[in-house]
Amino acid sequence: RTTALTVLGSTNMDLVAYVPAAPRRGETVFGREFRTVPGGKGTNQAIAAARAGGAVTMIGAVGEDDFGPRLRAALAGADVSVEALRTVAGPSGTAHIVVDDDGGNSIVVVPGANATVTGLAPGDEERIAAADALLLQLELPMEGVLAGARAARAHGVRTVLTPAPAQPLPAELLALTDLLVPNEHEAAALTGIDDPRRAALAFLDDVPEVVVTLGAAGSLYVARGSEPVTVPAVPARAVDTTAAGDTFVGALAVAHGEGRPMPEAMAWAASAAALAVQRAGASSSMPDRGEIDAGYGAHAEAAARTGQH
């Protein structure tokens, strides 16, 4: 069965400079290459989920600038429904990204049109109600995120929250979250606990299920009343980790919506994320379902041969 997902989130044009080493404050360096790539955590998760085989609707906003139509076209080109993507006065969101030769990145996000999404528009509640899950991140105003989460809960739709960029979470949002997916830095920032396993367990006071992503170390799942499970990453030569987490979440939501148990969904999502980090660009680097299946199968086979799991 196809997983239906609605994403309420940001749409940004990523302005990406590739440099040997990132500049320090006051320093100017030459980059080797510049690209504009559609991005934003919402759009990244939407495109990742659609490429992974989900039926995806995007709720958000773009500006009346040159980037707006390109962002809309990028989503539509990945088969994401854009009928609920509004066009508003002013600039689109932009993310100014510096990627260094080690594949690390630093990012400045200017919200632009995303800042206007402070609530739901007519039809959005129905779009949320029709989905298996609503994917949320924190690049929209908190009132907008909360409005989406409330609508999902009212219709019994599962909510998946990526708490990024990390910021204090209102108690109401946590109470409306079914699955929280922080990376290890966000988990530490939100709980004040550096150890990801202890941080994940601390979230269970507020949220029934948590997946903490651990970069090349994989991901960790905890749920109330069950033992924590760690799922390894799929080994990859990282070129650009910009959207690793969003690719992981998009694929995870698709696999879970298909009824696959969480550890299996995490392993499948790890295959998707490993393919994404091996290619430059955010949304343009996301693998399709066939590629994810192939990577997942190859990894399981290699693990069986070496006696790991």
Region from 12-20, 57-65, 110-118, 229-237 binding ligand ATP, contact rule CB under 6 A: 229-237
Beta bridge partners of 86: 61
Residue 276 assigned as binding residue: yes
Beta bridge partners of 8: 59, 136
Give one DSSP letter per residue of 252-299, joined into a string.
HHHHHHTT--HHHHHHHHHHHHHHHHTSSSSGGG---HHHHHHHHHHH
Tokens (6 digits) for 46: 């939407």
Among 133, 135, 252, 270, binds ligand ATP (CB under 6 A): 270
Among 46, 135, 149, 277, binds ligand ATP (CB under 6 A): 277
d(CA 123, CA 142): 20
Distances in whole angstroms, Cα of residue 22 to Cα of each of 103, 110, 237, 255? 11, 20, 20, 36
Considering only residues 241 to 260 of the shown chain, the ones binding ligand ATP according to CB under 6 A are 241-246, 248
Nearer to ligand ATP, 132 or 246 (CB): 246
- Catalytic annotation on 246? yes
User: Dihedral sign, CA of 79, 80, 84, 90?
Assistant: negative
Nearest residue to ligand ATP, by Cβ distance, number only: 245
Region from 76-84, 251-259, 273-281, 301-309 binding ligand ATP, contact rule CB under 6 A: 273-281
Nearer to ligand ATP, 188 or 277 (CB): 277
What letters, b where the CB count within 10 A reaches 16 and e where it falls short, cover 81-91? bbebbeebeeb
Residue 285 assigned as binding residue: yes
Tokens (6 digits) for 257: 């919506």
115 is a contact residue toward ligand ATP (CB under 6 A): no
Residue 214 assigned as binding residue: yes
Residue 105 assigned as binding residue: no
Shortest separation between residue 54's beta carbon and ligand ATP, angstroms:
18
166 is a contact residue toward ligand ATP (CB under 6 A): no
What is the chain's percent helix, strand, coil content, to nearest 5? 40, 25, 40
Summarize the annotated binding site as residue ranges: 12-14, 40-44, 139, 183, 213-218, 240, 242, 245-246, 276, 279, 281, 285
Residues near ligand ATP (CB under 6 A) are 183, 213-216, 218-219, 233-234, 236, 238, 241-246, 248, 270, 273-274, 277
So which residues are the catalytic ones?
A: 246
